[in-house]
Amino acid sequence: MLRLYCYNFRMPPKHPLAIPRKPQGIVTRGKTARNRLRQVDNFLLLYEPSLIARRDSSLFVDLGYGAEAFTTLETAMRFRKLNPDLKILGVEIEPERVAAGLPFADERTFFRLGGFNLPIEPGETVRAIRTFNVLRQYNEAEVLPAWEQMAHYVQPGGLMIEGTSNPTGAIWAANLLRRVETGWHKEALVFFTNFHQGFDPLEFQTILPKNYIHRVTPGEKIFDFFSAWKAAAAETSPLQTWGLRQWFAGTAEALSRRGYTINLRRKWLSKGWLIWENPETEPHPGLVKV
Ligand SMILES: C[S@@+](CC[C@H](N)C(=O)[O-])C[C@H]1O[C@@H](n2cnc3c(N)ncnc32)[C@H](O)[C@@H]1O
């Protein structure tokens, strides 16, 4: 009788996060460096301080922090100047790397084994995800499914910054994705340089996020964008007399005249950030505004 009863009785589903799941993804090289993501942290602090400062209990997730937990711990230190209670979760798919982080865990800093299906616990929510130098080691076809998977955990209005840098973080490029009702909106493609290597738009081509790096070919928007940026650099090259930062800002203005939506605020350009807004919805990228 009891068996029959159990069989027919529809058990309420368990909380999906309570089910132990195999981390989604693959173990990749764990190379990282101290302060590598400093300018990614600074970017977020300047771009949307309220996202970090908000005093709810939602997590900031650093997915794929690498062989050592430097970047997660440094982010915790920087963001907690604004929000001392901010909870930070470092996620790694490789158990020894989780073990390397655990001695630094405390009541606000967590290190857990997991993958794109984030290891968050019932009741936890996520305000933002940073995942840097992770998807570059995957195939291009794996990028969208990974993004979609991560979208499940992020609060409406939350952000994901997913990008690639050189080994020191002196130059990087990142997708900035906003969680909207239907999934992610590609809010911007962000480029950063500290100018230590000079300035050449070509340099960014080598550190593009995975969804773009193989697409700098004729017929692709990203190809047109780099052609326009290189032309803009040639056209504004006399500005080099005033320094690399002036030249960089000049190229941003020239891109804008060509119809690209570039954030022209000095606070970005003077510090080496070029923010191309709505990169997927540019209506007439070749257009030169008069
Ligand atoms: C090159 S390290 C990047 C470290 C750090 N984010 C940085 O930029 O310096 C990439 C790390 O991502 C981890 N990883 C790869 N896929 C992952 C996934 N699906 N979930 C969690 N970690 C992942 C790898 O194990 C590796 O340690």
**pLDDT tens digit sequence for 51-110:** 999 999 999 999 999 999 999 999 999 999 999 999 999 999 999 999 999 999 999 999
User: Ligand 1 center to residue 68 CA distance, Å?
Assistant: 10
User: Ligand 1 center to residue 219 CA distance, Å?
Assistant: 32
- Ligand 1 pocket mutation pick from 27, 28, 130, 142 by most atoms within 8 angstroms of CB: 28
Residue 174 in this model has a pLDDT that exceeds 90: yes
Domains of the chain: 11-195 (3.40.50.150)
Share of the chain above pLDDT 70, in %: 90
- In 3D space, the residue among 167, 161, 205 whose CA is nearest the CA of residue 187 turns out to be 161
Contact (CB, 8 A) for 124 and 154:
no
Query: Quick one: which H or E segment has residue 131?
Result: strand 126-132
> Alpha carbon of 282 to those of 11, 69, 223: distances in Å?
49, 38, 13
User: Ligand 1 center to residue 92 CA distance, Å?
Assistant: 6
Say what the pLDDT of residue 47 is. Answer: 98
- Ligand 1 pocket mutation pick from 38, 70, 93 by most atoms within 8 angstroms of CB: 93
Please tell me which residue, 289 or 133, carries the higher pLDDT value. 133
User: Ligand 1 center to residue 30 CA distance, Å?
Assistant: 6
Ligand 1: nearest atom to the Cα of 146: 19
The predicted-structure confidence for 256-288, as pLDDT tens digits, reads as follows 999 999 999 999 999 999 999 999 886 554 444
Q: How far apart are the C-alpha atoms of 67 and 80, rounded to whole Å?
A: 23
Does ligand 1 have an atom closer than 6 angstroms to the CB of 92? yes
The predicted-structure confidence for 219-248, as pLDDT tens digits, reads as follows 999 999 999 999 999 999 999 999 999 999
Residue 289 in this model has a pLDDT that exceeds 50: no
Does ligand 1 have an atom closer than 6 angstroms to the CB of 71? yes
Does ligand 1 have an atom closer than 6 angstroms to the CB of 173? no
Q: Tell me the mean pLDDT in the region 18-28.
A: 82
Q: Tell me the mean pLDDT in the region 129-146.
A: 97
Say what the pLDDT of residue 290 is. Answer: 36
What's the sign of the alpha-carbon dihedral 139, 145, 147, 150? negative
Say what the pLDDT of residue 20 is. Answer: 55
Question: By mean pLDDT, which of 7-11, 180-184, 224-228, 265-269 is the weakest?
Answer: 7-11
Kindly indicate the confidence band of residue 21, based on its pLDDT and cuts at 50, 70 and 90.
confident
Query: ∠ CA(44), CA(62), CA(160), 5° rounding?
Result: 50
Say what the pLDDT of residue 280 is. Answer: 87
Say what the pLDDT of residue 198 is. Answer: 96
User: Ligand 1 center to residue 290 CA distance, Å?
Assistant: 45
User: Ligand 1 center to residue 193 CA distance, Å?
Assistant: 22
The packing angle between helices 244-257 and 221-235, to 10°, is 130
